[in-house]
Structure 1
């Protein structure tokens, strides 16, 4: 039987179920609930904006969007968003998904923390971005009613999410804090990683090997 939350069907194709199993295997309850809320909040905002999108691709993007934080998928030198995007691409390629769809999923995951860019791309990319923004920072909070929010949170609880998610972020990239240069996750390192010295773009310019 399919699962329906706030009148939204959770995709239950073989491809979707396989992706969910990977999140269950390598993630934790925090990422499981967050990823499903991201999908549902993304769908709800897509419905509000009357845009067309592929629910299955949106769901798979949501499931993989933070998997780059896990030990299994984390690389030594890439942004965690790219690690998650690469993992999703490999998974989809193994299942014969068309390249166009794979590129959409890759972009949705890789750009989900890229403020000022992702919201202007294809619906699947923009809706993962807005779903993340809604769940993590409460962006456009009143665009979804309290009644509908409660249905989503009842199915996929937050469980002190505000205080748990930042340490969870850090755990995923504390071994490679340099990958946060130029993106919002540098704020996580600055707040939670003792002795963190972020790279400064101005220093990169002024101390470049150019003579003038």
Structure 2
């Protein structure tokens, strides 16, 4: 893997390399390429805005952000974002990373789909959310030039990403669709999971056990 892509350096510390090896082992090409694109786009945003950020922690957060979708790290009862955050926490703690850094990465991974919240967290978490939004739905698409986007995609191909990512998401939580309640992932269940009926918060309020 090239260490410099579109003027963004891929972290190559011992910690970063070990994280990359772990994620590469347990994720498919689609998630591996997506996670690396997320890092690159996130770092570009940080550089464009002249923000100070820890590139190593941003990279590790990006690598782990979807690993909770995979069989190796998927729980039976938690949101996939939390599974990924827990996996990142275990990895970092096993290597003696300071607690503040561990908490930062945990938040970045666990909150990466929490639109309207995560962008106000630490810089690394907000930047990773930008990278996710940029790669998945093209949010703020024109902020990065077509030439730069092409360099990223040449290094980490999309390979019909738009057609495949929704099914990859669904595979990660189709056996626990209740964990998607109140999140954007419920949209995926509603569209692709046969027989799924999206829970309604208003129904829960009006049919609670309160006698009134």
Normalised TM-score (structure 1)? 0.98
- Counterpart CA distance in 1 for 2:173 and 2:13 is 32
CA RMSD of aligned residues (A): 1.0
Please give the residue correspondences for 1:28-43 in structure 2 after superposition, counting only pairs within 5 Å: 28-43=28-43
How far the C-alpha of 1:2 sits from its partner, in A, is 6.3
Task: Note the residue ranges of structure 1 that are not aligned, 5 or more in a row.
Answer: none
Kept after mapping to 2: 8 A contact 1:2/1:12: no
Shift of 1:174: 0.2
CA contact (8 A) 1:61 1:109 kept: yes
Aligned to 1:51: 51
Deviations 1:1-36 (A, max 9, x none): 961001111001111111111111110000110000
Residue of structure 2 equivalent to 1:151: 151
2:95 match: 95
- Can you give the 5+ residue segments of structure 2 that lack an aligned partner in the other structure? none
Give the structure 1 partner of residue 168 of structure 2: 168
Deviation at 1:179, TM superposition (A): 0.4
Alpha-carbon distance between aligned partners in 2 of 1:89 and 1:205, rounded to the nearest angstrom: 35
**Equivalence map 1:9-158=2 (5 Å):** 9-158=9-158
Question: Equivalents in 1 of 2:119, 2:179: separation in Å?
Answer: 22
Deviation at 1:197, TM superposition (A): 1.1
Q: Distance in 1 between matches of 2:209 and 2:140?
A: 44
Contact 1:178 1:198 in 2 (8 A): no
- Count residues in correspondence: 212
| TM-score computed with the length of structure 2 as normaliser | 0.98
For 2:74 and 2:90, locate their aligned partners in 1 and report how far apart those are by CA, in whole Å: 14
Q: Which residue matches 1:7?
A: 7
Instruction: From the superposition, tell whether residues 18 and 92 of structure 1 become closer, same or farther in structure 2 (CA, over 3 Å).
Output: same
CA deviation digits over 1:50-94, x for unaligned, max 9? 111000000000000000000010000000000000000000000
User: Which residue is equivalent to 2:206?
Assistant: 206
Point out 4+ residue stretches in structure 1 off by more than 6 angstroms.
none
Distance 1:20 1:117 in 2: 27
Matched, 1:187 2:187: yes
The CA distance in 1 between the partners of 2:109 and 2:193, in whole Å, is 24
